[in-house]
């Protein structure tokens, strides 16, 4: 396998901004074709110009995950000024157009002032994009979520797993208590619930039980995302165990689902990066929703219907709209529905027709020093930086290049100023990004590896001092 070299990573070009009237899906379609990942069932290029874009509104976090992808310097970086956040929202719109899924993330975005977060959510929604909040959930109480829902929040994605080392929870099953609390916080707000989960060797065996939890809560949980541990960022648990692969995680999910699930029916981006499956939960049982490849191709190729809208009934009304716009597909649609209804007839009767949709997503981030050029070229998950959107894997491989950059702010008085990420000061000149020693930050601003390093050094110093004390008390060096 050939990987991008450090020089190539450093100078990787930013995608050019498309013309206002450009066919944005055609641009990505061409990329998918160039890396051999195109098919009529490929969602990227058919239904969407990008899978989603991360909008990192703070680099700070109130947890210290063992697999954290953030930089060692993150806690020392000030929150991006609001005008720059708004400019980046406009950038997303210009690149990918309306309907784009925007992950409002960080760090943990709830560490920003709530009034600012509300403004950001509103701005994303008013720009015609789909705002989702990515959070560990600690500060996302019910009134908090209600306020964000009123501002237009569409989804909340809770990250809950053992890598966060939440006190009092030794297993993933025990953490279901936290997940349940978060679900109840979102219930009735109109916000869709996602869960993010980092797969490590420690948690791998609990995936089936976790999937059963999601199925029991399928009335609220719309997407369960599994992210395979990768060697990137400041986290202390870096190397992926040999147990973990796309295939092994899929099989764990299927074990929990109690049925086989098709993760290949409708790709979203590069097959080495993502796997997607959509199921229906009926009477506590899962039914594969993508089991008819001809019908899936027709839906995906039609491209223009918004299936994932904001209300529970929206997918049903989207289906009716789709049939009206594609009368030639009425027969395949009826065949698809008929087969599902027949297969699930007993459960449909038992549930009185209640059906919930739940999607499973596998995301396979690359190690920072093993970036595959084809996957970067056809990336479906970008983060928006000062200079424009960048593949998340690429950004993770050189995070400091982005978070320590001074940011140009227009003052309206003709001459811009430059915001400095470490001090928050405004300078007339841009200045240069300095080489920094992460361990030089105060301990309160250290996380991950640098915190562990400083901590170890302090412990060693304490041990040395104790040895010296006992040596001087005993008149000679201590034994051992």
Q: Which of 164, 185, 198, 364 is in the footprint of ligand SF4 by CB under 6 A?
A: 364
Give, as ranges, the residues between 1 and 30 that touch ligand SF4 (CB under 6 A): none
Interacting span for ligand SF4 (CB under 6 A) from 95-103, 113-121, 162-170, 266-274:
266-274
Q: Does 406 bind ligand SF4 (CB under 6 A)?
A: no
Closer Cβ to ligand SF4, 4 or 121, answer by number: 4
Among 44, 92, 191, 273, binds ligand SF4 (CB under 6 A): 273
Handedness of CA 310, 150, 92, 368 (dihedral sign): negative
Q: Is 376 in the site for ligand SF4 (CB under 6 A)?
A: yes
**215 prior amide bond cis, ω within 30:** no
Is 263 a binding residue for ligand SF4 by CB under 6 A? The answer is: no
Cβ(234)–Cβ(450) under 8 Å? yes
Q: Which stretch binds ligand SF4 (CB under 6 A): 1-9, 149-157, 201-209, 268-276?
A: 268-276
Q: Is 365 in the site for ligand SF4 (CB under 6 A)?
A: yes
Site membership for ligand SF4, residue 375 (CB under 6 A): yes
CA nearest to 362, candidates 191, 248, 232: 248
- Coil, strand, or helix at residue 175? helix
Stretch that binds ligand SF4, among 101-109, 156-164, 242-250, 374-382 (CB under 6 A): 374-382
Taking CB under 6 A as the criterion, the residue among 136, 223, 380, 450 binding ligand SF4 is 380
Closest distance between ligand SF4 and the C-beta of residue 300, in Å?
18
Task: Determine the straight-line distance between the first and last CA of the chain, rounded to whole angstroms.
Answer: 49
Nearest approach, Cβ of residue 274 and ligand SF4 (Å): 6
Q: Copy the structure tokens of residue 14.
A: 């930013």
Instruction: Please state, as a whole number, how many other Cβ atoms lie within 10 Å of the Cβ of residue 347.
Output: 17
Backbone angles phi, psi at 196, to 5 degrees: -105, 145
Integer Cα distance of 76 and 81 in angstroms: 15
Return the residues of window 382-401 that contact ligand SF4 according to CB under 6 A.
391-393
User: What is the Cα–Cα distance from 233 to 56, expressed in whole angstroms?
Assistant: 15
Signed CA dihedral, 338, 344, 349, 353: sign only? negative
Neighbours of 480 (CB within 10 A): 4
Closer residue to ligand SF4, CB minimum distance, 275 or 375:
375
Among residues 69, 134, 381, 419, which is the contact residue for ligand SF4, using CB under 6 A?
381
Please identify, using beta-carbon distances, which residue of 76 and 393 lies nearer to ligand SF4.
Answer: 393
Task: Go through 375-394 and write b for each residue having 16 or more CB atoms within 10 A of its CB, e for each that does not.
Answer: bbbbbbbbbbbbebbbbbbb
Binding site for ligand SF4 (CB under 6 A): 269-270, 273-274, 363-366, 375-376, 379-381, 391-393
């Amino acid at each position: 396998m050939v990987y991008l070299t450090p020089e190539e990573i450093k100078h990787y070009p930013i995608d050019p901004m498309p013309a206002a009237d450009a066919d944005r899906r055609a641009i990505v379609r061409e990329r998918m074709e160039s890396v051999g990942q195109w098919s009529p069932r490929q969602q990227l290029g058919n239904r969407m110009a990008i899978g989603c874009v991360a909008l990192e509104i703070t680099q700070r976090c109130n947890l210290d995950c063992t697999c954290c992808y953030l930089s060692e310097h993150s806690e020392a970086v000030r929150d991006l000024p609001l005008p720059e956040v708004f400019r980046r929202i406009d950038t997303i719109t210009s690149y990918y157009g309306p309907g784009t899924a925007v992950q409002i993330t960080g760090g943990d975005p709830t560490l920003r002032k709530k009034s600012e977060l509300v403004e950001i959510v509103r701005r994303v929604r008013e720009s015609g994009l789909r705002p989702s909040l990515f959070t560990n959930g600690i500060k996302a109480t019910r009134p908090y979520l209600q306020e964000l829902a009123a501002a237009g929040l569409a989804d909340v994605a809770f990250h809950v797993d053992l890598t966060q080392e939440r006190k009092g929870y030794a297993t993933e099953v025990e953490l279901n208590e936290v997940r349940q609390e978060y679900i109840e916080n979102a219930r009735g707000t109109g916000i869709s619930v996602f869960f993010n989960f980092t797969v490590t060797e420690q948690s791998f065996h609990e995936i089936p039980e976790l999937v059963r939890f999601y199925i029991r809560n399928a009335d609220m949980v719309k997407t369960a995302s599994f992210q395979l541990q990768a060697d990137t960022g400041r986290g202390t648990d870096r190397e992926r165990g040999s147990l973990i692969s796309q295939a092994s995680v899929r099989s764990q999910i299927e074990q929990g689902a109690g049925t086989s699930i098709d993760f290949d029916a409708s790709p979203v981006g590069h097959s080495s990066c993502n796997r997607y499956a959509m199921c229906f939960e009926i009477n506590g049982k899962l039914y594969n929703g993508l089991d008819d490849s001809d019908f899936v191709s027709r839906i995906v190729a039609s491209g223009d219907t918004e299936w994932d809208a904001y209300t529970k009934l929206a997918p049903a009304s989207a289906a009716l709209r789709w049939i009206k716009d594609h009368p030639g597909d009425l027969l395949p649609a009826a065949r698809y529905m008929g087969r599902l209804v027949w297969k699930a007839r007993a459960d449909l009767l038992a549930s009185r027709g209640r059906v919930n949709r739940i999607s499973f997503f596998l995301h396979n981030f690359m190690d920072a020093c093993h970036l595959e050029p084809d996957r970067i070229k056809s990336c479906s998950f970008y983060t928006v930086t000062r200079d424009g959107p960048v593949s998340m894997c690429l950004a993770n491989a050189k995070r400091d290049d982005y978070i320590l950059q001074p940011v140009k702010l227009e003052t309206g008085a003709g001459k811009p100023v430059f915001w400095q990420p470490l001090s928050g000061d405004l300078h007339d000149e841009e200045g240069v990004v300095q080489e920094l020693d992460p361990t030089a930050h105060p301990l309160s601003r250290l996380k991950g590896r640098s915190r562990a390093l400083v901590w170890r050094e302090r412990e060693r110093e304490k041990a040395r001092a104790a040895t010296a004390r006992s040596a001087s008390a005993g008149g000679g060096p201590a034994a051992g």
